[in-house]
Amino acid sequence: MTIRKLACMALALVLALSMASVAAADETIKIGVIGPMTGAYAVYGLGVANGAQIAVDEVNALGGVQLELLVEDDQGDGEMGVNAYNTILDKGGKIMLSTVTSGSCIAVSDVAFEDRVFMLTPSGSADVITQGKDNMYRVCFKDSAQGSASAQYIVDHQLASKVGVIYNNAQDYSMGIYQSFMTKAQELGLNVVAQAAFSDDTNADFSVQIAQMKDAGAELVFLPIYYTPASQVLTQAKAVDYAPVFFGVDGMDGILSMAGFDTALAEGVMLLTPFSADAQDELTVSFVTKYEAQYGGVPNQFAADAYDGIYALYAAINAAGITADTSFEDACEKLIAAFPSVEITGLTGTMKWDATGEVEKTPTAVVIKDGVYVGADN
């Protein structure tokens, strides 16, 4: 055989393998993940991307339907979120596990509704996200559910007789939780003795808000805010020897992994969340072990929500008979029909969805003890 023939055969083999590789890649169902992978809220986005990847790896190891993640950074910004969404569609994305933050999710979901792209947000909690959008579902609790559940938990467990609230009046996430908390607090007769607002422009100095809480004798301060301003509140409260119980919701998850933050300041902080990394059930232990081995650190609720989101999509994809050849428009309609019949038991509980896109599951509380989250009722 001549060298020329050998070269031709080698080239043919390379082309065949290349075509097979392309074909294999095209056989995956591409799922878009949009969130803050850089910037102030990167703890959320990276947690989502990492948790989702662990679930995708597990699903793909089962054989059958194969999934692929397309991850794009929006830094929590709506305009960047829409750009990321369009990039994912250009890359062949069919379904969105997106977006991570509420503001971006509102912007992206408006476009996805018009385009008929199915979205399951792991952590976008603003009530308005799902309203009037039959293609929009979520894994996390909506803001109003978080606020009312927090008030109920405080009353049920008799955590305090006098309660204060510090909230961000320029943020949909914080305002939604604050308003539902206040409504439920009034219904339950919870004594809210102080309410103090701040904005994104005044989130460095909390001396006035802390003084209001302290002067009113608040024994518990509810913080429906993100972990960055929460870290400032904790630091500045310590500086004036004010030590109430601080009680937050899912936006505070991530405070223990903040660079430069003294985790001792968060000792005793409570969070209402459906996920606790210290739980000893087999699924949680397996997930935490894998997360620590692959990414380092302890997974937060955002990672757990994303992990569950992939399994929810996997169940609905199989129920609907969606393949890599299904258009995103057809996939959207099939998933809308299939999702209300999906029920999974995941890291954040046993969950199912109603036709409005809202999830049903039970929240629990965790407390920070010795620098880690532990079940508050343990």
Taking each helix axis from N to C end, the angle separating 328-338 and 301-320, rounded to the nearest 10 degrees, works out to 100
Average pLDDT over residues 45-51: 97
Distances (CA, A) of 73 to 34, 139, 376: 6, 20, 34
My answer on whether 133 and 151 are in the same domain is no
What is the pLDDT at residue 13? 43
What is the pLDDT at residue 256? 86
My answer on whether 165 and 252 are in the same domain is yes
Dihedral pair phi/psi, residue 279, rounded to 5°: -60, 145
Last residue of a domain, one of 273, 294, 316: 273
Domain that holds residue 80: 23-141+282-362
The answer, yes or no, to whether residue 239 has pLDDT greater than 90, is yes
My answer on whether 213 and 174 are in the same domain is yes
pTM of the model: 0.78
What is the pLDDT at residue 19? 38
- How many Å is the Cα radius of gyration of the chain? 23
My answer on whether 327 and 261 are in the same domain is no
What is the pLDDT at residue 2? 38
Element spanning 5, H or E = helix 3-26
Alpha helix (H) ranges present in 189-263?
A: 207-215, 227-239
> In this predicted model, what pLDDT tens digit does every residue of 311-359 receive, in sequence order?
999 999 999 999 999 999 999 999 999 999 999 999 999 999 999 999 9
My answer on whether 262 and 171 are in the same domain is yes
My answer on whether 345 and 261 are in the same domain is no
My answer on whether 151 and 50 are in the same domain is no
Structural domain total, the chain? 2
Average pLDDT over residues 254-262: 86
| CA–CA separation, 82 and 70 (whole Å) | 14
My answer on whether 193 and 130 are in the same domain is no
Domain assignment of residue 202, yes or no: yes
Cα–Cα nearest to 376, from 220, 368, 367: 367
210 HSE (CA, 13 A, CB side)? 23
> In this predicted model, what pLDDT tens digit does every residue of 158-185 receive, in sequence order?
999 999 999 999 988 899 999 999 999 9
Type of residue at 370:
D
Q: What angle do CA 139, 78, 148 make, to 5 degrees?
A: 40
What is the pLDDT at residue 378? 64
My answer on whether 102 and 176 are in the same domain is no
Q: What percent of the chain has pLDDT over 90?
A: 76
Average pLDDT over residues 235-242: 97
Domain assignment of residue 201, yes or no: yes
What is the pLDDT at residue 79? 97
My answer on whether 124 and 47 are in the same domain is yes
Average pLDDT over residues 220-235: 95
Cα–Cα nearest to 272, from 154, 99, 124, 130: 154
Domain assignment of residue 16, yes or no: no
> In this predicted model, what pLDDT tens digit does every residue of 75-126 receive, in sequence order?
999 999 999 999 999 999 999 999 999 999 999 999 999 999 999 999 999 9
DSSP for 280-344 reads -SHHHHHHHHHHHHHH-S---HHHHHHHHHHHHHHHHHHHHT--TTS-HHHHHHHHHHHGGG-EE
pLDDT band at 193 (very low <50, low <70, confident <90, very high): very high
The answer, yes or no, to whether residue 10 has pLDDT greater than 60, is no
Average pLDDT over residues 217-234: 95
What is the pLDDT at residue 16? 41
Judge whether 224 and 177 are in contact, CB under 8 Å. yes
Domain assignment of residue 247, yes or no: yes
Say how many C-beta atoms besides its own lie within 10 A of residue 230's C-beta. 25
pLDDT band at 26 (very low <50, low <70, confident <90, very high): low
My answer on whether 262 and 304 are in the same domain is no
My answer on whether 136 and 152 are in the same domain is no
CATH for 176: 3.40.50.2300
Last residue of a domain, one of 244, 273, 302: 273
Domain assignment of residue 337, yes or no: yes
Domain assignment of residue 164, yes or no: yes
